[in-house]
Amino acid sequence: MLITHDTRCALDTVVDLVNSVPEDDTAPDGLPDVAALQEFVGTHEISDVGVLGEPDLAAVLRIRGRFAAVFAAPDARAAAQLINDLVAAAGTTPRLTDHDGYDWHIHYFAPGASVADHLAADCGMALAFFVVAGEQERLRRCEAPDCRRAFVDLSRNRSRRYCDSRTCGNRLHVAAYRARRKEAAG
């Protein structure tokens, strides 16, 4: 599966967007206000987006929930339906570009699109290609019981189970090791 620079950026963006949802009622929201959204847009180098307002935040939070559903979709058909709805509502204008020295790739967002439509179009299409490639399973949730963050498994054999193996994977290994020692000692 060919993953171009822009697809990679769109994937990183959509994963960060989905993971800004608070994990429970006590956790803070990753996108609490317009300033946080403006910072998100800057960090992820989302181009052609001007000054943002409350309507932008409301629209982004709406599509955030729908992207979260894509990562929780049980199969390709369910994911396809969700992605189709997201992309259709955003409106797209596919066009080839080789801006900033990158190889030819396609931008999907319409010129002048709002930030929510921009994200829905380009991140939606990045996810669409996983369904096309028969790789929808790579859009995952971390298997650590207290985590469930979204991630995209880009490993060769689709073997990644945790959002960040250095934290979640390790924490589980340590817990399993302690449990084994306890059993051996007991």
Judged by CB under 5 A, the chain residues 73 through 92 that form the site for Zn ion are: none
Task: Give the C-alpha separation, 27 to 16, whole Å.
Answer: 16
Q: Using the rule CB under 5 A, which residue among 60, 126, 128, 144 binds Zn ion?
A: 144
Number of residues in contact with Zn ion under rule CB under 5 A: 8
Shortest distance in whole angstroms from residue 160 CB to Zn ion: 11
The vertex-143 CA angle with 29 and 149, nearest 5°, equals 20
The three-state DSSP-derived secondary structure of 35-94 is: HHHHHHHHHCCCCCCCCCCHHHHHHHHHHHHHHHHHHCCCCHHHHHHHHHHHHHHHCEEE
Contact (Cβ atoms closer than 8 angstroms) between residue 75 and residue 136: yes
Q: Using the rule CB under 5 A, which residue among 49, 82, 168, 172 binds Zn ion?
A: 168
Instruction: Name the one range near Zn ion by CB under 5 A: 51-59, 87-95, 164-172, 177-185.
Output: 164-172
6 contacts Zn ion (rule: CB under 5 A): yes
142 contacts Zn ion (rule: CB under 5 A): yes
147 contacts Zn ion (rule: CB under 5 A): yes
Q: Using the rule CB under 5 A, which residue among 46, 73, 121, 163 binds Zn ion?
A: 163
Helices (runs of H) and strands (runs of E) counted in the chain: 6, 4
59 contacts Zn ion (rule: CB under 5 A): no
Shortest distance in whole angstroms from residue 77 CB to Zn ion: 27
Minimum CB distance to Zn ion smaller for 25 or for 45: 45
Interacting residues of 130 by C-beta distance below 8 A, sequence separation 6+: 1, 136, 138, 139, 152
Minimum CB distance to Zn ion smaller for 98 or for 183: 98
Q: Summarize as ranges the residues that interact with Zn ion (CB under 5 A).
A: 6, 142, 144, 147, 149, 162-163, 168
